[in-house]
Amino acid sequence: MTQETLTETGATQTPRPEVPVNWARPFFIIWIGQALSLVGSQVGGFALVWWLTQETGGSATTLALMTFIAMLPGVVLGPFVGALVDRWNRRRVMLAADSIIALFSAGLVVLAWLDVLQVWHVYVIMFVRALGGTFHYAAMQASTSLMVPSSQLARVGGMNQTLRGVLDIVTPPLGAMLLAWLPLYTIMGMDVVTAAFAVVPLFFIHIPQPERKAAEVAPSVEIKPSPVVELWRDVVGGFKYVWHWQGLFIILLMATVLNMMANPAFSLLPIMVKNHFAGDALQLGWLNSAWGAGMIAGGLALSVWGGFRRKIDTSCVGLLGMGLGTLIVGVTPGHLFWMAWGGMVLAGFFNPIVNAPFMAVLQSAVAPELQGRVFATVGTMAGAASLLGMALAGPVADRFGVSAWFVAAGVACLAMGSAMRFIPSVMRLEEEAQRREASRVS
């Protein structure tokens, strides 16, 4: 019996390393550092958006271009980033990514302090921050499955979703308050300082690295492919891995549709508040807070509960709940604003119930040495779907109103949550993952 099996990706798969009994301390030291760094990053991002808004006189084109630039690395370069993450040491990838982001942010601090900061400088820095974030996300998600026991991945995912909800509520008013007191360069300097909380622990804490050996080749083959060719083979291998695993491919396809429908709906929320509810910034703030509060509650509930035994069952329930909440927002009459507020709380509550178990499924199902590519593929599909959805949602909303898009998104969630129960390859995904894991160690 061998200890390794050759895959279609051209790399050998090795057994998943055992997670140490004392896994919590090193993981949460890194997690807390990343959380503190995220506070600085999101406050800094808010300050940059407001600076651009003031500098360009509130140009929607400028802000849309910034959003496009922020999404571009994940959409276009994601698969290549994932392949590199699987090749390189993941701890070093996170160290380099976080350090480069901090370095460019420090450059922005200097430009702002010298009062020579221009719009194009911000675009360049936003691109670098987004590219570094793409590397960091793929490396961190791929490392989590090697640092956290499979039984705890859903709870950790719930904590991540809770953190996201807290940041969505706290950082905008915190950023606005700091902008009223401090200049831009001081706020961005805080971003650089908080980055140290993410970088420093990585120097001292070991992050497991899956062994990756070169594929066996025939003795007659003596010419080694160029690094570019090998990288391309890895990228193609990542897509093949997803394509040939039917249950995994269907789930990723559903996630893509979900991003295409849901993200544009919530992006158009300001227009819905103004035109449908005849509201203003206060009503928009109430709806955003409802979503954030729901996410916090849902993330905390999942962190305590942990979900059903089969993680995919938890995601199915989450899809149904999120779809119901989104549908309620869409069908709410203009004079019943608080009904939409309740729908937002409901949708926000079930958002972590969808996402965290789904991420846990990927982390436990995908071979460790392939996770960088798979997570990057997820990011690419989600980003491309969001851009496509925005292109479609604008004309639809102009023709039928934003409410129609919310209704469509809610129906899509309900349909997918119901359909998943009747797709055997999806419902047996975790059993298939265990079978594949057993075949690697046998």
Kindly list the domain boundaries of the chain, sorted by start residue.
Answer: 20-204, 227-441
Tell me whether the CATH fold assigned to 20-204 matches the one assigned to 227-441. Answer: yes
Question: Which among 177, 182, 199 has a CA at the least distance from the CA of 29?
Answer: 199
pLDDT in tens, the chain (442 residues): 333 333 434 444 445 556 667 888 888 899 999 888 888 888 888 788 778 777 776 555 666 677 778 778 877 887 788 888 888 888 899 999 999 999 998 999 999 899 898 888 888 888 898 888 888 888 888 888 788 887 787 788 778 878 877 887 777 778 778 878 888 889 889 989 998 998 999 898 888 877 655 443 444 445 566 666 777 777 777 778 778 788 888 888 888 888 888 877 777 777 788 788 887 756 776 887 788 889 888 888 888 888 888 888 898 999 999 999 999 999 999 889 999 999 999 999 998 898 888 777 777 777 777 777 777 777 777 777 877 877 777 787 778 878 888 999 999 999 999 998 888 888 887 777 677 666 655 5
CA torsion 308-13-373-131 (nearest 10°) is: 110
The CATH class, in words, for 227-441 is: mainly alpha
Q: What is the pLDDT of residue 110?
A: 93
The CATH class, in words, for 20-204 is: mainly alpha
pTM (whole model) above 0.75: no
